[in-house]
Amino acid sequence: MELSGAEIVVQALIDEGVEYIWGYPGGAVLHIYDALFQQKKMRHILVRHEQAATHAADGYARATGKPGVALVTSGPGATNAVTGIATAYMDSIPMVVLTGQVPTPFIGSDAFQEVDITGITRPCVKHNFLIKRVEDIAETLAKAFYIATTGRPGPVLVDIPKDVTDPGVRIPYDYPKKISMRSYRPVEKGHPKQIRKAVDLMVKAQRPVIYSGGGVIQGNASDELRKLVKETGFPITQTLMGLGAVPASDPNNLGMLGMHGTYEANMAMHESDLIIAIGARFDDRVTGKLAQFCPHAKVIHIDVDPASISKNVKVDVPIVGQVKPVLKVLSERKTKPDAEALKAWWQRIEAWRSVECLRYPHSDKVIKPQFAIETLHKVTRRRDFYLTSDVGQHQMFAAQFYPFEKPRRWINSGGLGTMGFGMPAAMGVQQAFPKATVACVTGEASIQMCIQELATCSQYNLPIKIVLLNNGYMGMVRQWQELFYEGRYSHSYVDALPDFARLAETYGHVGMTIEDPADLEEAYKEAFGMKDRLVFMNVLVDPEENVYPMIEAGKGHHEMHMSPYLNSERELA
């Protein structure tokens, strides 16, 4: 079979099993778009901004576990995609991004829409390629998918100059079935000796805590983790990226840890004598002040990336390997923990838990954002449900108040914290699971960073449900300004907001404005009842609610600020 470079690009994607590709055409990718036009196997989704193409591909990847694919043109098309690439990189999401490039003879001449995108993205991709010959396209794409999806996953960018895709040049096509690279051999199984050492520590531990992260979700190891929790009876806490790996309803689950984690999770970490970190990377939002991080604990760390180990926190027993096979071997060991000690440890944890740190004052006058999320859960709990999020207070409220029972159901930008992620990510999820209910919880600041995608949702009939917790502020910025800048709300008030409900309507969607707490549940029911429509719910919430508990940046886990509501209650008692 002889194909042109452009046809090879398209055929290679089909041979990789790509179903959807998010993109935006432009001069440098016209040949590829022409080849796309002439096939029926893969569906292209036209976004309204290249950032959304990468976020949608990313959302698809997070929900399905398959690599997301985006296609953009050279120059501004490529630079617009960078935020989405960096977002995927920080959360280790498998993604392949194809960028057009000016023809090879023009590279380096500051040609129209030329940018050195491999140079720009080098620090925020797992790897990138610049293809210089048509003969290299198939193998390079095969390598790109291989690198993106194996080891610690991540985005791979492939830059394709226009002349390389010339329809006039046809060569034999053969897609490599298997890729082997001498310079890249990701590890799989953990070292048995290290696993033995870990078991020894687990048997002796008096106050163990499992701390799991996004690696368990990305590594499809939730079943193995649940088994380990069940067998050992150890308490488990998860990072923002790890929620859903173990059901929120599991009694051993202490919820999220870190800056806005639960009191019981953070106190258990602080007092523990053994941390079992699984697919987590000791991010500063999790550890707080490193010098005060888990001062009494030995640390076991299971991770596929050797560079994650002992990067921020010194590890006693590193296990480098895929989380899934390592956890499998670990549970086969049938660790018999110290039952007595564990019982005493649980008693302490239950005391911390009894504080019920997430309680908030209810109101019948104004919708509390926490109540908005709790009610969202009430209405959607029986559905096949995915929740994406933007970044800020609403993200933390969702993480705290929406109990996720399954992996890959909570989709948000953790590492990079990208405002504008939520709606395009929801598009990717809805595309992957057309029958599922997909909602995006967002803020009035975040949503405006990619609001143009309401048009994409119209064009492709994506019935996502947007739950905008509208407090009129960049809530998290305002919270920090209230707490650390004596209430000087410098530029965090989002003035001149549009009427979101009407805005959604102009795009052909359904808009709602909800102000009264008494109406909320019914409004949600009505919105989620509209199966085939995008419904934009503008939920006006308490403008000055804060996220608690909170650990200030640079403080230890034991130095949590509790909600003033809890503190006042304590004073009364």
Partner 1 sequence: MRHIISVLIENESGALARVAGLFAARGYNIESLTVAPIEDPTLSRMTLVTHGDENVIEQIVKQLNKLIDVVKLLDLSEGSHIERELMMVKVKAEKGMREELKRLADIFRANIIDVTSTSYTTELTGTSAKLDAFLEAVPEEVIIEVVRSGPLGISRGPKGLGL
Binding segment for partner 1 among 60-68, 82-90, 118-126, 357-365 (CB under 8 A)? 118-126
Binds partner 1 (CB under 8 A): choice among 21, 95, 130, 457: 130
298 noted as active-site residue: no
Question: What are the strands of the beta sheet with 127-130, ordered from one edge?
Answer: 43-46, 20-24, 68-72, 95-101, 155-161, 127-130
* Residue partners of 329: CB distance under 8 A and separation at least 6: 189, 190, 192, 195
Distances (CA, A) of 517 to 382, 387, 392, 471, 535: 22, 21, 22, 14, 19
Residue 235 structure tokens: 């308490």
Question: Judged by CB, which is closer to partner 1: 126, or 368?
Answer: 126
Q: Which of 2, 39, 41, 112 is catalytic?
A: 112
Q: Does 108 bind partner 1 (CB under 8 A)?
A: no
Question: Judged by CB, which is closer to partner 1: 143, or 226?
Answer: 143
Q: Does 131 bind partner 1 (CB under 8 A)?
A: no
Rounded CA-CA distance 137/133 in Å is 7
162 noted as active-site residue: yes
112 noted as active-site residue: yes
Binding segment for partner 1 among 28-36, 175-183, 353-361, 451-459 (CB under 8 A)? 175-183
User: Please, which of residues 289-328 interact with partner 1 by CB under 8 A?
Assistant: 305-307, 309-311, 314
Q: Which of 162, 324, 368, 465 is catalytic?
A: 162
Q: Does 122 bind partner 1 (CB under 8 A)?
A: yes
482 noted as active-site residue: no
552 noted as active-site residue: no
* Residue partners of 361: CB distance under 8 A and separation at least 6: 368, 565
For strands 253-256 and 317-320, give the pairing: unpaired
Binds partner 1 (CB under 8 A): choice among 1, 14, 46, 181: 181
C-alpha 420: how far from chain center: 13
User: Please, which of residues 234-263 interact with partner 1 by CB under 8 A?
Assistant: none
Question: Judged by CB, which is closer to partner 1: 313, or 379?
Answer: 313
* Start-end of H helices in 28-75: 30-37, 50-64
Question: Judged by CB, which is closer to partner 1: 81, or 147?
Answer: 147
Nearest approach, Cβ of residue 197 and partner 1 (Å): 19
Q: Does 558 bind partner 1 (CB under 8 A)?
A: no
Cβ-count burial of 194 within 10 angstroms (0-12 exposed, 13-18 middle, 19+ buried)? Answer: middle
* Residue partners of 203: CB distance under 8 A and separation at least 6: 335, 336, 337, 338
Q: How open is the CA angle 394-553-313, to the nearest 5 degrees?
A: 110
Binds partner 1 (CB under 8 A): choice among 103, 104, 127, 197: 127
Binds partner 1 (CB under 8 A): choice among 123, 291, 362, 495: 123
Angle between helices 5-15 and 137-149 (to 10 degrees): 30
Residue 280 structure tokens: 């987590």
Q: Does 133 bind partner 1 (CB under 8 A)?
A: no
- Only one residue has tokens 């992957």, namely 432
Q: Which helix (H) or strand (E) holds 501?
A: helix 500-506
Q: Does 147 bind partner 1 (CB under 8 A)?
A: yes
Nearest approach, Cβ of residue 166 and partner 1 (Å): 21
Tell which residue, 430, 439, 468, has the closest CA to residue 379: 439
Q: Does 141 bind partner 1 (CB under 8 A)?
A: no
Nearest approach, Cβ of residue 90 and partner 1 (Å): 14
Q: Does 126 bind partner 1 (CB under 8 A)?
A: yes
Number of residues lying near partner 1 (CB under 8 A): 20
| Phi, psi (deg, nearest 5) at residue 268 | -65, -40
Question: Judged by CB, which is closer to partner 1: 119, or 172?
Answer: 119
Q: Does 230 bind partner 1 (CB under 8 A)?
A: no
Nearest approach, Cβ of residue 507 and partner 1 (Å): 40
Q: Does 96 bind partner 1 (CB under 8 A)?
A: no
Q: Does 119 bind partner 1 (CB under 8 A)?
A: yes
Question: Judged by CB, which is closer to partner 1: 127, or 333?
Answer: 127
Q: Which helix (H) or strand (E) holds 216?
A: helix 214-218
Q: Which residues bind partner 1 (CB under 8 A)?
A: 118-119, 122-123, 126-128, 130, 147, 181-184, 305-307, 309-311, 314
Which residues belong to the active site?
50, 112-113, 162, 476
